[in-house]
Amino acid sequence: FTRGVESLEQKLFNLRHSQSQQTIVMPQFKLKAYLLLSFSANQFNLVAASLQLPLNKTIPGSHLGSPPPYTTYTTFLEQEIQSKKHAFLAGNNVYYISEGRWGNPGNPDDETIGLIHPFFNDLRSRGTGIVEHETTGVGNDFWGWDFHKWVEVAKGTVIGGAQTGDPSGSPGSPTPSQITNHDGSLCIAAHPTQDNYGLPVSMEVCNDQDLRQQWEYDASSGLFTNLVKGWCLFAGRPDVVGQELKTWGCDTSNPQMIWDYDSATENGRIKSRLGYNAQYNDGKCIKAGTSAGQVPTMDVCDSSLPVQQFDLPSLFTEVRYENISPDKMYWRPDGMTMEYSIGSANVQVREEKFVSANDVISTIIYSDVPIEIEFTGKSFARTDFRTVSKSATCEFDEVNNAVHVVEGGRVMAKVSETPEVIKEADLMYQGMSSVLSSSKVIESYSQVELEPGECRYTFRIPVDSTGTTLSWTMHDEYPAALNAIKEVLSDHTSYMTAKTDEINHLLNYNLPYFRCEDEDIVKIYYYLWAIYLMLFKYVGKGQEAHHHTQTAVNNFLGLHNWDAVIQILVGSWTTDKPMWAYGNVLLWSELPLSASSSDGMIPDNMGQTWNSGLFGGFHHSAHACGAWQIYQHSGDDSFLMQAYTFFDSLFTAAGGVNGEDFDASICLGKMASALAKPEAEITKWNEHMDRYGGLDWYLSQRWDDSRSCWLDCDENSPNGIHRWGQIGKADQSYFPSDWARAMGETWLAKGNPSGFYADGDIPLVSIAKRDWDKVLCPGTLESMSCGNGYWSEFAVTPDTNYYMLHGMFRHDVTKIAIDATLGHFKLNHMQWGLPVAPESREADFALWGDQYSNFNAGKILILIEGIGGFKLSMSNSTFTHADALPLEWSFMEWRMPVRAADATNTAWVLVQEERFCLDSSTDAWTKQITVESNPLDTLEIKPYTEGGALISYEVFVDDELVNVVAQQAGKDRLSFTFNGNSAKGKIVVSLVLQADAGTDLSSLNCKPPPSTTSTGATSTQPPPTTTTTTTTQPPPTTTTKTTTTTTQPPPTTTTTTTTTQ
SS3 assignment, position 166: coil
Do the Cβ atoms of 414 and 425 come closer than 8 Å? no
pLDDT band at 100 (very low <50, low <70, confident <90, very high): low
Peptide bond into 419 cis (omega under 30): yes
Q: What mean pLDDT is predicted for residues 53-65?
A: 75
Q: What mean pLDDT is predicted for residues 906-912?
A: 98
Q: For the segment 404-431, what is each residue's pLDDT rounded down to a tens digit?
A: 999 999 999 999 988 899 999 999 999 9
Backbone φ and ψ of 994, nearest 5°: -130, 135
User: 427 burial class (0-12, 13-18, 19+ CB within 10 angstroms)?
Assistant: buried
Rounded to whole angstroms, the Cα distance separating 12 from 23 reads 9
Q: What is the edge-to-edge ordering of all strands in the sheet holding 468-475? A: 79-80, 328-332, 335-342, 347-355, 361-367, 468-475, 433-438, 402-406, 393-397
Examine the pLDDT at 195 and tell me if it is beyond 90.
Answer: no
Do the Cβ atoms of 243 and 222 come closer than 8 Å? no
Residues contacting 676, CB < 8 A, separation 6+:
none
Q: What mean pLDDT is predicted for residues 152-172?
A: 73
pLDDT band at 229 (very low <50, low <70, confident <90, very high): confident
Backbone φ and ψ of 804, nearest 5°: -70, -45
Residues contacting 16, CB < 8 A, separation 6+:
22, 23, 24, 50, 545, 590
pLDDT of residue 193: 77
Do the Cβ atoms of 354 and 390 come closer than 8 Å? no
Residues contacting 254, CB < 8 A, separation 6+:
234, 248
Rounded to whole angstroms, the Cα distance separating 560 from 908 reads 32
Q: For the segment 765-798, what is each residue's pLDDT rounded down to a tens digit?
A: 999 999 999 999 999 999 999 999 999 999 999 9
Rounded to whole angstroms, the Cα distance separating 776 from 282 reads 57
Q: What mean pLDDT is predicted for residues 240-255?
A: 95
Rounded to whole angstroms, the Cα distance separating 216 from 232 reads 9
Do the Cβ atoms of 97 and 847 come closer than 8 Å? no
For the ranges 255-264, 306-315, 613-622, the lowest mean pLDDT is seen at: 613-622
Rounded to whole angstroms, the Cα distance separating 590 from 612 reads 14
Examine the pLDDT at 590 and tell me if it is beyond 60.
Answer: yes
Rounded to whole angstroms, the Cα distance separating 730 from 732 reads 5
Q: For the segment 876-887, what is each residue's pLDDT rounded down to a tens digit?
A: 999 999 999 999
Examine the pLDDT at 104 and tell me if it is beyond 80.
Answer: no
**Which tops the pLDDT comparison, 383 or 182?**
182
pLDDT of residue 319: 77
Q: Which residues pair with 403 in a beta bridge?
A: 396, 436
Closest by CA position to 87, among listed 105, 99, 95, 102: 99
pLDDT of residue 919: 73
Q: What is the mean pLDDT of the chain?
A: 88
Rounded to whole angstroms, the Cα distance separating 188 from 203 reads 5
Q: How far is CA 266 from the centre of its chain?
A: 62
Examine the pLDDT at 735 and tell me if it is beyond 70.
Answer: yes
For the ranges 32-41, 409-418, 985-994, the lowest mean pLDDT is seen at: 32-41
Specify the pairing of strand 347-355 against strand 335-342.
antiparallel
**Which H helix or E strand runs over 412?**
strand 409-417
User: 304 burial class (0-12, 13-18, 19+ CB within 10 angstroms)?
Assistant: exposed
